[in-house]
Structure 1
Amino acid sequence: MTETDSIAYDVVVLGAGPVGENIADRTRAAGLSTAVVESELVGGECSYWACMPSKALLRPGLAQADARRLPGLAQAVQGPLDAAAVLARRNGFTGNWNDDGQIQWLDGIGVDFYRGHGRLAGPKKVEVTGSDGERHVLTAGHAVAVSTGSRAVLPDLPGLADIKPWTSREATSAQTVPGRLIVIGGGVVATEMATAWHALGSKVTLLVRGKGLLNRMEPFAGEMVAAALTEAGVDVRTGTSVTSVTRENGTIVAVTDNGDRIEADEILFATGRAPRTDDIGLDTIGLEPGSWLEVDDSLRVTGSDWLYAVGDVNHRALLTHQGKYQARIAGAAIAARASGVSLLDSDPWSAHAATADHSAVPQVVFTDPEAAAVGLSLAEAEQAGHRVRAVDYDLGSVAGASLYGDDYRGRARMVVDLEREILLGVTFVGPGVGELIHSATIAVAGQVPISRLWHAVPSYPTISEVWLRLLESYRDN
């Protein structure tokens, strides 16, 4: 093993996914010398095993489903998808799992990159060990930012490791279509991958331990997605747990708690995430290895004046777009403190406070139908003690929805705070609603009064006209 002299930077970033890249971009733009450490691919989970490849897998099937709802076009798209072409295009989205372009981008903005395993080695110090054994010691004058993300969690089932199950990584990077696929879970990864692989030709069985799908959204979202998956041919079984999994002569056999025996070629466990903090030296600064890191609204770790935890590792919102939002906040806070500002702007809507992570987190689930939500559900709002009213509307009754097909099925809900007459949450379910959610995010994050929303006129004929119908329903009932 060789060792270089200690190298000084203003900021050291552990993890080069979208979050780490954005922290580096903001601190470097502020004139701070910055180094980024990554043991895998620059671009992280989102670029290679999550957001981008999963959406590349999903889009052809969703486009085909949209086309089949349109008379005159439906007859032209009745054949199966060209799975090889879809997988090849997906590979292109990941750059064939090559990060040369991402490294060039870091170099272009003046950030030094270290490939290797990075560990904290006491306050403001990071040790990097490369695959060749070369060791670097980096010191941070102002801040170390941990943005190492999260990993998939597998259940404690005997022999599970021996059958080599899929996690989200294998599900988004597989190079062949399994004839039969079991998906375990009822969340975003489970529903999206069931949608994608079914469209590509797999016979999919979806096993859900709970009562329904997408339990962090309004109940009707999961109900509508489950109904559509079932109608499409996915075998959806709720209230079902797997008690054992084996591989017999190449075939996976899963046994459920009610004694059912299900055979498949592959099995995907989409059963939760854990922070990638187990081997990054947290013990050297008095923190628990493998733990989520608690932070304030400037993303600084509780009890520290130099350590930041940004993205999945702080467990505030495990979403790429929220992690990038946090990165912009953290970068601004680090730069402000480095310039001598000891007390940051107390305004919760300042550039130094991650306010939206408390009240206006948006998410889109790219199933068919899509499900999109921002803010609080009705149950969450009531549990938080707000006096609220839910206003629902059938999206299929909006004029613009008919342009998507003759049998458009969807639903919209806004949760109104009756004291302040602002929106606490909005949920849409239906084809194409992912493009609606940003308008809802602006309304929720900006706390736009309903009296002002009346004057935001939706274009006709678009499904955005649902805003008018929701407001009319609130006024008239």
Structure 2
Amino acid sequence: MDEAIATYDVVVIGAGPVGENVAERARAAGLSTVIVERELLGGECSFWACEPSKALLRPVVPHADARRVPELSHAVDGPLDVDAVLAYRDRMAAYWKVDDQVDWLDSVSVDLIRGHGRLTGPRQVSVETSDEGTVQLTARHAVALCTGTGTGTALPEIPGLGTVRPWTNREATGADRVPGRLAVVGGGVVAVELATTWQALSSQVTMLARGDEPLAKMEPFAGELVADGLREAGVDIRLGASATSVTRESGADGELRITLADGEEWTADDILFATGRAPRTTDIGLETVGLTPGDWLTVDDTCRVTAVADGVEPAVGDGGHRALTTHQGKYQARIAGAAIGARATGEPVDNARWGAHAATADHAAVPQVVFTTPEIASVGLTTHEAERTGRRVEVVDYDLAHLAGAQQYAKDYRGRARMLIDADHGTVAGVTFAGPGVAELLHSATIAVAGEVPIERLWHAVPAFPTISEVWLRLLETYREKAR
């Protein structure tokens, strides 16, 4: 087999949104950069997660919203056009083609090697390609590990699971047919979003969740409202349910039989596991730099892996196990790329302008949207997290249905807002919104939390009337009344 050897300032393993951002920032710092990818450029988010899943949900949410407006409800009585929804999904996933990503890499002068990259030592990478043999790469300054979770759905060890062809997020977002009956195992964000999607596309969905409510890591009222929305849509939610075995009857297309821990049996045509993610670090040569294959990687605020002796290899995005969202991974990538450039030029990383080389938002201001009906939007601490960490907060709640903007949105609007105020500093420590149309409130909340805006100044951020953003004024008024 032929072998090529090349040297770059920076080698990036993984060409998802995170890897692309690291590469762009490193290149902008004047460093020669190559990116290595064995699957589709753009990664999980572009083709099997964020983009296709939100494309599937995009028709679902306005369809549900229109039903809440009496003058429009008659126009949306029928089901969604499944073929049209799937066609829209295909378009938003670029038909699983990477031409735009290749053009973009060319435009920023980042080289591309297609193949499976593995570390072979500090700043050394071997790439097995399908058509160019093996390529040996040396990085003068850093190898950035941006493999994320990829296909790493954390499937449980259940007898029979390996023989029934279970769905993960990839099968669920890329499916070209609607299963008659779909069992969704899990109660987190992926589970509730995909249950919302497939129930709206005329599948009969059963959710098997171990906990007492979906979305256990968020404020309890968020999970309660999402559960209510799923039930109203027709989803059968089985709480406290755990699958112990799975079998498929009568061949590859036969009925699935699911046995639960309490001995009850359940049947379905397909089963989707949304039970968390595992790091995609098993086969990337971690052992050659003193790390354990398959582990999450501990990183500092500049995204360097703390356990690597020379502290050079950064792990950016999901693999660093800080905040497992695409937008947070891209944020880390911008910081890591800039930090690599700073170190290469001798700039003091800890004195960077605007704090650009420290991922402080990972600790206190991580935003998240759950695209269900209703939507959930949150940033910063939850009440439980504040209690667990000993943070003194004051909890302020408000019923969104009292807002004129919410009444414009839907006659029977149901929603809730919660703001946590840091009792020692008089700033917003966390916000959660639950209700139709709340996703667009999130960035204002993120600015309030990340910017540590004093409550006294928030009084002067005037919300437009009649919009749901008026909730900010009502939360502040409620806080003032409580303080009297």
* 1:68 correspondence with 2:93: no
Residue aligning to 1:224:
225
- SS at 1:126's partner residue? strand
- For the Cα contact (< 8 Å) 1:152–1:270, is it kept in 2? yes
* 1:126 correspondence with 2:125: yes
Residue aligning to 1:174:
175
Q: Which whole-Å CA distance do the structure 2 matches of 1:159 and 1:100 have between them?
A: 40
Residue aligning to 2:298:
294
Q: Which whole-Å CA distance do the structure 1 matches of 2:189 and 2:263 have between them?
A: 27
Q: How does 1:78-477 map to 2 (within 5 A)?
A: 78-132=77-131, 134-150=133-149, 151-249=152-250, 250-302=254-306, 303=308, 304-341=310-347, 343-346=348-351, 350-477=355-482
- SS at 1:214's partner residue? coil
What amino acid is the match of 1:147? C
Shift of 1:215: 1.0
- C-alpha change, 1:369 and 1:9, in structure 2 (3 Å) is same
Stretch of structure 1 that moved more, 196-205 or 129-138: 129-138
Shift of 1:210: 1.2
- SS at 1:253's partner residue? strand
Residue aligning to 1:52:
51
What amino acid is the match of 1:449? P
Shift of 1:347: 7.2
What amino acid is the match of 1:308? P
Shift of 1:264: 1.0
- SS at 1:475's partner residue? helix
- For the Cα contact (< 8 Å) 1:2–1:134, is it kept in 2? yes
Shift of 1:260: 2.1
Gaps of 5+ in 1: none
- For the Cα contact (< 8 Å) 1:359–1:445, is it kept in 2? yes
- For the Cα contact (< 8 Å) 1:165–1:268, is it kept in 2? yes
Q: Residues 37-95 of structure 1: CA distance to partner in whole angstroms, max 9, x if unpaired? A: 00100000000000000000111111100111111111111111000110011011111
Q: Residues 308-352 of structure 1: CA distance to partner in whole angstroms, max 9, x if unpaired? A: 0000001000000000000000011001001012x4225796000
Q: Which whole-Å CA distance do the structure 2 matches of 1:419 and 1:44 have between them?
A: 42
Cα-Cα RMSD: 1.1
Shift of 1:133: 6.3
What amino acid is the match of 2:397? D
- For the Cα contact (< 8 Å) 2:200–2:233, is it kept in 1? no
Shift of 1:305: 2.9
- SS at 1:121's partner residue? strand
Q: Which whole-Å CA distance do the structure 2 matches of 1:91 and 1:59 have between them?
A: 13
Q: Which whole-Å CA distance do the structure 1 matches of 2:190 and 2:205 have between them?
A: 14
Residue aligning to 1:2:
2
Which aligned runs of 4 or more in structure 1 are off by greater than 2 angstroms?
345-349
- For the Cα contact (< 8 Å) 1:18–1:46, is it kept in 2? yes
- SS at 1:19's partner residue? helix
- For the Cα contact (< 8 Å) 1:349–1:355, is it kept in 2? no
- For the Cα contact (< 8 Å) 2:7–2:139, is it kept in 1? yes
What amino acid is the match of 1:258? D
Q: Which whole-Å CA distance do the structure 2 matches of 1:374 and 1:349 have between them?
A: 21
Q: Which whole-Å CA distance do the structure 1 matches of 2:387 and 2:259 have between them?
A: 39
- For the Cα contact (< 8 Å) 2:159–2:244, is it kept in 1? no
Q: Which whole-Å CA distance do the structure 2 matches of 1:345 and 1:280 have between them?
A: 30
Q: Which whole-Å CA distance do the structure 1 matches of 2:298 and 2:210 have between them?
A: 29
- For the Cα contact (< 8 Å) 1:348–1:355, is it kept in 2? no
Q: Which whole-Å CA distance do the structure 1 matches of 2:130 and 2:371 have between them?
A: 37
What amino acid is the match of 1:474? Y
Q: Which whole-Å CA distance do the structure 1 matches of 2:351 and 2:297 have between them?
A: 23
TM-score between both structures, scaled by the size of structure 2: 0.97
Q: Which whole-Å CA distance do the structure 2 matches of 1:189 and 1:289 have between them?
A: 26
Q: Which whole-Å CA distance do the structure 1 matches of 2:46 and 2:13 have between them?
A: 17
Q: Which whole-Å CA distance do the structure 2 matches of 1:306 and 1:233 have between them?
A: 51
- For the Cα contact (< 8 Å) 2:115–2:130, is it kept in 1? yes
Q: Residues 271-306 of structure 1: CA distance to partner in whole angstroms, max 9, x if unpaired? A: 111111100001111111111111110011104332
What amino acid is the match of 1:422? T
Q: Which whole-Å CA distance do the structure 1 matches of 2:189 and 2:353 have between them?
A: 30
Q: Which whole-Å CA distance do the structure 1 matches of 2:407 and 2:323 have between them?
A: 35
Q: Which whole-Å CA distance do the structure 1 matches of 2:204 and 2:353 have between them?
A: 49
Q: Which whole-Å CA distance do the structure 1 matches of 2:61 and 2:223 have between them?
A: 18
- SS at 2:411's partner residue? coil
What amino acid is the match of 2:186? G
Gaps of 5+ in 2: none
